[in-house]
Structure 1
Amino acid sequence: MDLADNLATDPYGVYERLRTTSPVHRIQGTDGQPAWIVTRYEEVRAGLADPRLSLDKRHARTGNYQGLQLPPALDANLLNMDPPDHTRIRRLVGKAFTAGRVEQLRAPIRAVADQLLDALGTDGSAELIGAYAAPLPITVICELLGIPRERRGDFRGWTQALIAPDPNQPHAAKEAVKAMMRFFTGLIEHKRQTPADDLLSDLISVRDAEDDRLSEDELLSLVFLILFAGFENTVQLIGNAVWALLKHPAQLAALREDMSKIPAAVEELSRFEGPALLAIRRFATEDLTIGDVTVPAGETVLLSLSAANRDPGRFADPDRLDIDRDTAGHLALGHGIHYCLGAPLARAETEIALTALLERFTVLEPDGDDAAQWRRSLRARGLKSLRVRFRAGQPA
């Protein structure tokens, strides 16, 4: 079963049909190789925490879907690791994304949001992904890592080529990987020579002082992952949240009436229209039963976060956006030891992005019937563009 085209246009309809017949189905990945997709909440949540489902490609059987292929120097990242290496590296970087550390970043994040909105003016139209949803998180993550402002312009193109490759540009993904490798290698060398008060300098210090804790490939891969995931997931989360609210004006009005609901609304928006259709692929380390299917050892399992979050067996009336819903247990940012490392930062950025946007513009609406353009991707759920009309002041 080839899902790519249908998932690009109607992911939740596809997932509903799959859930209705069985929790597990055989499909083809983006490279044409087979995999198992899991769509019901109970099985997805259990799979996310099951140590028999490994992220390490060494457990993959030849001829099965293995996901994004990166050079070894970028492949030694947390999305390809099991404990104990995963535990060791996550501990090193986890302190940068604690709730307390993120609270200290809220004021700077709001300042960036306000600057971006200032540039839009007070009355007009804009493409909101390029003008707001993308530059906000890239500015934040680059400031955190200490990446010079003049080196930030290419990230959107690189990540786009990897997450949603253009079939008309078959070599774009490989070229993006090469460009990122050159950039990260040069950046690390620069920081070695000129360390500063930033996360990247701290990681380099750990690498150079304690070689047994962080290899050079692990350092390079970690920087890649922080930039790639920390930027792209948040772009999608912000853009998807704005679009969902514009499509549900009653919910948008309720949020405007009580802005204290924004943190809870972000959880519901994450459940309803999260940034990841699928968790990172996993490989069965032994024959195991999922639902009514036995998955042989070495075969690939894709756990659908979006399908689980729309499962009526877990969330009543799941296709309805409800900012007052109890969203406890939603899986938009994962579950278990691989739960999204940057979740506190992604939440804070989305909360601040929505707050600043709604406080600034009392009129915010889609600009035309085709205002939202979705990217074609089996893995990610995100907008290529979102055109809006806006006006500061009193609503018409």
Structure 2
Amino acid sequence: MTTPAPLRYDPMDPSFTKDPHPLLARFREESPVYHWEQGGGYIFFRYRDCMALLRESRLGVDPTLGAGFPPELKSAFPEFAALRENDLFMVPPAAHARLRKLLNPTFGPRAVEAHRPKVKAIIAALLDKLPKEGEVDISTEFTRQYPVRVIASILNIPSDHVPEFVAFAEALISTIMPGLSPEQFAACMPIISRGMAIVRAVIADRRANPMPNDLTTELINACDEQDRLSDAELVSLVAGLLVGGTDTTYHGTNQAILTLLQHPEQLAILRDDPSLARNAFDETLRFNIFGRVPMVRYATESFAYGDVHLERGRPVFLFLMSAFRDPEYLADANTYDIRRQHTGTHWFGLGPHFCLGASLARMEAEIALQSLFARYPTIEIAGEPVYGMHPIMRTMDQFPIRVSASA
């Protein structure tokens, strides 16, 4: 009988990337609170702890605890500092509440439904470029393409900027990785600077030339008792939409396709009832969310949680990917069931920082899954997905499938 290896969390371990759940199950049982040296804080693996700490008022999302970026960083990277200090995660609670009040009507379920025809057209056009049968890298040729094209289209940003926006989104996400080296951080800055320049140009053009049914115009006009979004808030918000509106949908759709193909009985259920596509996306995010590292919060004051002392200013990590496979959350948490009726969508966050673009992401993924499986009655995995080295996400740089438009 072999002795299990000592528990060690290494987010870049290839075996963890491919299937993190055996290790996460061990952590829940053997070490549900684990001090992660690389991240500089404690990781919580159990559902009860993650949900309690998500609701904990002494944890915040701002790593600077309201102090802003240090002067040396502002001096070296002023654009980046301004971008982050005005985003929804960094602004003080009062400003966050004001921004969400202005923005929530634009991103509610009813509002995003107005964009459904545009989303369907973009997805159909991408699928039309794929072969009727043969091998397809679905990650590079479809799932990576459609979310950023949708966001660019809704914001009416020229499509030739799409590759730059993909790079912009990935660079922004990379900068939030705890333990990122100064060299890695600095390498992201030219990409971010180029993305911000495009965003500013689009905003300036739309101020001069407002457009109907255009999200950029709606954001420029968003106001409450004459309290409009500032230029800095607009740039940061559009940048945030490019990140949140592309990566979650891209990686989530990849995982949904993979998980459905690994569970053919569930794919058969979806083919029989395509209206379950949105449910399938939610169940995938519950069953196998695409993160490599846990959600991070910061202690705004020192306090004790159980036997653990959480020190002011230190990160606190909540491993939701583990929490949603905890038997305390669901007795059959290791069962993938697209007919499962969820009482919430905690994988999009909780409370004030619930994902602003959740409704849009869910609608996009619903249409993408419905359209893909309607286009191809026969789909199968053609090879193991090739995972990249992104520091935050378990990205599928390649995901080969074999398709046929014939039954």
Q: Please tell me the TM-score bracket, short chain as reference.
A: 0.7 to 0.9
Conserved? CA contact 1:4–1:377, under 8 Å: no
What are the within-5 Å matches in structure 2 for residues 1-396 of structure 1? 3-6=10-13, 7-28=16-37, 32-59=38-65, 71-75=80-84, 76-163=86-173, 170=184, 171-197=186-212, 198-206=214-222, 210=226, 213-276=228-291, 280-368=295-383, 370=384, 372-394=385-407
Structure 1 residues 325 and 109: CA distance shift in structure 2, 3 A:
same
Q: TM-score w.r.t. structure 2 length?
A: 0.85
Residue by residue, what CA displacement relative to the aligned partner does 1:25-75 show, whole Å, maximum 9, x if unpaired? 2114xxx4512222111121222222211112332899xxxxxx9822210
Deviation of 1:178 after TM superposition, in Å, equals 2.0
Runs of 4+ deviating beyond 4 Å = 164-167, 277-280
User: Match of 1:53, as an amino acid?
Assistant: L
Greater Cα shift, 115-124 or 355-364: 115-124
Letter in 1 for 2:206: K
Deviation at 1:344, TM superposition (A): 0.9
Deviation at 1:317, TM superposition (A): 3.2
Residue 38 of structure 1 aligns with an amino acid whose one-letter code is F
**Number of aligned positions between the proteins:** 381
Residue 384 to residue 310, structure 1, CA distance change in 2 (3 Å): same
Does the CA contact (< 8 Å) of 1:271 and 1:306 recur in 2?
A: yes
In angstroms, what is the RMSD of aligned CA positions?
2.8
Comparing 75-84 with 198-207, which one deviates more in the overlay? 198-207
CA distance in 1 between partners of 2:117 and 2:303 (Å): 48
Q: 1:385 is matched by which residue type in structure 2?
A: Q
- The structural deviation recorded for 1:277 is 5.0
Q: Percent identity?
A: 32
1:47–1:377 distance in 2 versus 1, CA, 3 Å: farther
How far did 1:279 drift?
6.1
Task: Return the alpha-carbon distance in structure 1 between the equivalents of residues 363 and 189 of structure 2.
Answer: 33
1:281 match: secondary structure = strand
Q: 1:213 to 1:38 in 2, by over 3 A?
A: farther
User: 1:87 Cα deviation (Å)?
Assistant: 0.9
Contact 2:164–2:195 (CA under 8 A) maintained in structure 1: no
The whole-number CA distance in structure 2 between the counterparts of 1:328 and 1:22 is 28
| Equivalent residues of 2:17, 2:292 under 8 A apart | no
Note the C-alpha offset of 1:222.
0.8
Deviation, 1:2, is 5.5
Question: In the superposition, relative to structure 1, how do residues 278 and 332 fare at CA in structure 2: closer, same or farther (>3 Å)?
Answer: farther
Q: Which is worse superposed, 328-337 or 220-229?
A: 328-337
Unaligned runs of 5+ in 2: 1-7, 69-76
> 1:277, 1:306 within 8 Å by CA — same for their partners in 2?
no
Give distance in 1, aligned partners of 2:67 and 2:241: 28
Q: What is the CA distance between 1:189 and its match in structure 2? A: 2.2
Deviations 1:274-296 (A, max 9, x none): 24455652211222333431212
Seen in structure 2, the aligned counterparts of structure 1 residues 124 and 374 have a Cα distance that, compared at 3 Å, is: same
Q: Give the structure-1-normalised TM-score.
A: 0.87
Q: Measure the CA separation in 1 of the matches of 2:247 and 2:322.
A: 20
What residue identity is the alignment partner of 1:388?
A: I
Counterpart-to-counterpart distance in 1, 2:228 and 2:41? 34
**Is the CA contact 2:80–2:189 (under 8 Å) kept in the aligned structure 1?**
no
Distance 1:378 1:311 in 2: 25
Flag the 1:254–1:55 CA change in 2: closer, same or farther, 3 A: same
Post-superposition Cα deviations, 1:303-330, rounded to whole Å, max 9, x if no partner, equal 2221111112112232331223343345
Equivalent residue number for residue 65 of structure 1: none
Q: Is the 8 A contact 2:298 2:316 kept in 1?
A: yes
Mean Cα displacement is larger for which, 226-235 or 50-59? 50-59
Residue 115 of structure 1 deviates from its aligned partner by 1.4
Q: What amino acid is the match of 2:28?
A: R
**Larger deviation, residues 272-281 vs 170-179:** 272-281
- Describe the superposition over 1:234-292 as per-residue Cα deviations: whole angstroms up to 9, x where unpaired: 11111110011112222212222332332322221121122445565221122233343
